[in-house]
Structure 1
Amino acid sequence: MAQTDGQSFPEIVEVNVGGQVYVTSLDTLTAVPNSLLWSKFTQSAPGQLAKDSKGRFFFDRDGFLFRYILDYLRDRELLLPEFFKERKRLRKEADFFQLPELSRRLAAVSKDGSYAEPDGGEPEEAELTSPVTTTTTTTTISPSSSSDRALRSPGNNSGYITIGYRGSYTIGRDIQADAKFRRVARITVCSKISLAKEVFGETLNESRDPDRPPDKYTSRYYLKYNFLEQAFDRLAETGFHMVACNSTGTCSYGSNDPGEDKLWTSYTEYIFSR
Structure 2
Amino acid sequence: MNNTNNSSGAMSYEYAASATVYGCVLVLGLPLNAVSLWILLRRHGLKSSSAVFMSHLALSDLLLVLSLPTRVYFYTTGTWPLGIQACTATTMLFRNNIRSSAIFITFIGLDRLLAVVFPLRSRHLRTTTNAWKACVFVWLLIVAVNIPESLYQIRRMKSCNANNVCFEFTTSGCAVGLPIVGYVQSGLVFAMLGVNVVSSAMVSWKLRGHLSDAAKVNNKMNVMLIFTINLLMFIVFFLPFSIVLTLKNRVAVMPMFCLASVNCCLDPLLYYFSLDAFWKKKEGSDMEVSLARSHESR
TM-score with structure 2 setting the length: 0.21
Give the number of the structure whose residues are more often strand, by fraction. 1
Structure of higher CA gyration radius: 1
TM-score with structure 1 setting the length: 0.22
Give the number of the structure whose residues are more often helix, by fraction. 2
